[in-house]
Each structure stands twice: as C-alpha cells, then as structure tokens.
Amino acid sequence: MPSPQAEALTREYQQQVLNVATLLARRLRVTALRADVNDIDGWWDQISPQIQQEILTGQSALARMARGYLRQHALLEGVRLAPVVIEPDPQQIATALRVTGPVAFKTQMAISGSETAATRVMASQLQGSAARLVLEGDRQTTMRTFRERDEVAGYRRKAGRSRPCAFCQMLIGRGGVYSKETVRFQSHDRCSCKPELLYRREPEPPEVRRLQEQWATATAGHSGAAAIEAWRRFVDGRATS
C-alpha cells in the first residue's frame, strides 16, 4: 500500500481538485437557471464561449496541479517521476457542454412541455458535466503518466466521498490495475473518484479487500449484467438500512 504520507497527500490533493471543480460547476448551474427559455439557442450562442473558456482554464489548472502532486507523491514512494501533462480538447468540451445544455433543455421540453422543468434538468446536467470535464485535467494527466512512464507500475481507484455509488464501489473493489495496454479510467458526471499511481505491485488495502468480499457474497451465482444488477441492489439496500 502507499505510505501513510502518500495517502495523506492524496486525500488533501483530492479535496483540492474537487473544490475547484465544484466551484466552477455550481457557477455554471446558476448561469443555466437564468437561461432565456424563449431563445435557448441564442442564449447558448451568447454565453457558451465564456463557459467553454472557464472549463478549459479549470481543466488546464488541474492538469498543472496534477503535475506537482504526482511528482511529490512519487518522491514520497521513493521514485523520481516526470509527469506527462495533457492538453485540453476544446472541441470535446464544447460538444459535451452543448449536449448537457441546450440539447438537454429541448429533450426535456419534448417530454414535459415545462420550461421550468427543462431549465432545471439542463442546469443539473450542466453542473455534472462541468465538474467531470474540469476533473479530466487531473485524471487524464495521471493516466497518461501511467501509460507513458516506466516508473509507474499501475494505479488504484480512490473514492472522493465517504459513500461512492455502486458503479464506483465495483471498480474500486477491482483493486490495483497494472495493464497499460487497455487502461481507461471510467468516470461519470458527479463522480469524485481519482486514480492514485502505484510504483510496484502490492497487496490491496483493507477497504479494497472488504469490497471484494462483499462483491463475492452479493453476486454469488450471477455473472455479467446480472452480477452488476445484484451488486447495485446490495449497495442500495446497505445505503437504506
């Protein structure tokens, strides 16, 4: 397992990046709630350049923060590391924001016919999308460093909240990932997880072993999609008990 010092650094850093992403996402939600529902496309064309620039700036800032964190984290583990910082993709950001912005508004309008409901749905989806896009600065820098630096052996998924969703708990329970060929960090809107790099193969920490035991119990006799559904029922039942 990572040293206590490296674990503490990760917790502190993870909270910092979540704070940045949450701040930008909340600002975007407030902006969306003030949308001109009589001309949603005109409103979006007017505000989207500024929104995209804020997301680009936030993602770039977290990529730079990730570089400093990764260097320090590696040193605490006795490794010298040169992180590989990603460059944001403006087109990807623009597309994601449009889908969760005016497209989401129009979709909800077609379903409910309520401008109020459509605005709220759009604001919620934009908030989640913005947080995920900003956090990609950290996540993609970490994963690209994993793929391109021989000093890194693998990574482990770390939850950012005390009670992550069933999907994230399932992935956390898989433990350390050491394959560089097919690696991809899976996240979703409002996901607070991050990858923590590993510099050697090592035993899984207690929280991961506990999830692995729970998975085996909850999914006994199931496989594939049925196992995932059984796991969701288990996690949902535990959350309400």
CA pair distance 205, 44, nearest whole angstrom: 46
Tokens, residue 221: 């006799």
Dump pLDDT digits (tens) for 14-39. 999 999 999 999 999 999 999 999 99
Higher pLDDT, 38 or 162: 38
Mean pLDDT, the chain, as a whole number? Answer: 94
The answer, yes or no, to whether residue 240 has pLDDT greater than 70, is no
Residue appearing with tokens 């039942």: 237
Neighbour-count burial for 126-164, b at 16+ CB within 10 Å, e otherwise: bbbbbbbbbbbbbbbbbbbbbeebeebbbbbbbbbeeeb
Helices 115-148 and 90-98, axial angle in degrees (round to 10): 150
**Can you give the residue ranges of every domain in the chain?**
4-150
Give the side-chain half-sphere CA count within 13 A for 180.
Answer: 15
Alpha carbons 27 and 130: distance in angstroms, whole number: 10
Q: What is the pLDDT of residue 206?
A: 93
Beta bridge partners, 195, equal 157
pLDDT bin (cut points 50, 70, 90) of residue 241 is low
Helix (H) or strand (E) holding 154: strand 154-158
* Predicted model pTM: 0.92
Q: Taking the CA of residue 136 as centre, how many other CA atoms within 13 Å lie in the half-sphere pointing to its CB? A: 23
pLDDT digits (tens, 9 = 90+) for 185-201: 999 998 999 999 999 99
Q: How far apart are CA 70 and CA 148, in angstroms?
A: 14
The DSSP 8-state label assigned to residue 194 in this structure reads: E
Element (H, E) at 235: helix 224-240
pLDDT score recorded for residue 1: 73
pLDDT of residue 239: 63
